[in-house]
């Protein structure tokens, strides 16, 4: 099954593979290193990791990449973006922590925008698996 999921992932355009494996996954996993660096760091980490875990769970359950994987992104990354914006506006933060939060928010905002489109396509009947 893992082999089938990897083959499915490799059917994505190269740019999407690089974006996902080279940036989206690492920046969300890097939230583990934020523990105790600033306000709400545990919640940010939880939302980030739940989004990733949800995408992996859907991908495994569907035996490949599907538009349904947009759902965990919408569920967990949308509120995380608002939480990050609140933290950035409300607290005086260490510049490195603030920069990381901003990069995480922008990254996942891009993902969420794409996810809304994918979710609508899935809702309308596109159940294809790559």
128: in domain: no
pTM score, whole prediction: 0.93
130: in domain: no
Q: Residue 65 belongs to what domain range?
A: 2-123
8: in domain: yes
CA gap 57, 34 in Å, rounded: 24
Q: How many domains does the chain have?
A: 1
CA gap 31, 46 in Å, rounded: 9
Q: Report pLDDT digits (tens) over 12-44.
A: 999 999 999 999 999 999 999 988 888 999 999
Say which residue the tokens 């290193």 belong to.
Answer: 33
CA gap 68, 51 in Å, rounded: 13
CA gap 82, 79 in Å, rounded: 5
Q: Report pLDDT digits (tens) over 56-86.
A: 999 999 999 999 999 999 999 999 999 999 9
């Amino acid at each position: 099954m893992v082999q089938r999921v990897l083959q499915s992932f490799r059917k994505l355009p190269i740019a999407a593979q690089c974006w996902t494996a080279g940036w989206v996954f690492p920046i969300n996993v890097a939230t583990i290193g934020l523990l105790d660096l600033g306000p709400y760091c545990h919640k940010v980490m939880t939302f980030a990791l739940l989004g990733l875990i949800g995408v992996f769970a859907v991908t495994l359950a569907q035996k490949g990449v599907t538009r349904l994987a947009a759902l965990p992104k919408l569920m967990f990354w949308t509120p995380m973006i608002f939480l990050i914006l609140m933290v950035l506006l409300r607290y005086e933060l260490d510049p490195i922590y603030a920069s990381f939060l901003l990069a995480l928010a922008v990254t996942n905002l891009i993902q969420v925008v794409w996810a809304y489109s994918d979710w609508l396509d899935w809702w309308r009947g596109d159940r294809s698996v790559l």
